[in-house]
Structure 1
């Protein structure tokens, strides 16, 4: 198992729930465990204003989203793989979990896994890629004890 360094930035103070760092690290590790070198990732938890600004600035979409992924994919002089940054909107994730009647930790885990898959090169641009990515998400979440996030109840 690799050594994972998690840089957690809490830029949101008005959220009713933010998962503990140990949970976030566990959710990341389920994907990144097989890398043979030290891995570093930043997870930034923000409010709606910041995520909307970032979404517009980097994706040209003027709306609030639940997560943005910014891959770095560089190896630094300390032999640490800087995988990238995940920016998550705690308010949006909370609202979605309530609206979709999902366990809050399950939804956070899903967002972390989804974003991390983007960081390592997966995407859902076409139907085949979407099905592959969703299959990976379902399997990772199952291994963590969470149900399929794509089943509507």
Structure 2
């Protein structure tokens, strides 16, 4: 065959799919059209659109601000911009906000990272073949490395 669909609601998105053929659109947040894919079953619901619009219209009826505002979108976009800069520079990049509305001074949140081989563990994911994919950060240089190890 040219592919397989496997439902497993206890792992990732609940749906695992493998395809060798390019079939076009898979899902909004799908990373590729071939190979292992983990599409979301109900994109509109899972991505929050239903909840967001329900709250927005209810807020209009009640004369209040919605749970998520344009300012929230501004902050999210500033974070995404820092992510793009980080991908380009291969280092941690600061979030640049011209309009920061948190109480001043804002205490810095610090959680000691889990260390693997002296590097901070950013993310660990179990691959379909059982191996572990680890994304690690050198805390001194900011360099990001990817390692795949036996699970």
Length-normalised TM-score, structure 2? 0.24
Q: Which has the higher contact order (CA 8 A, sep 6+)?
A: 1
Say which structure is richer in helix: 1
Length-normalised TM-score, structure 1? 0.24
Larger radius of gyration: 2
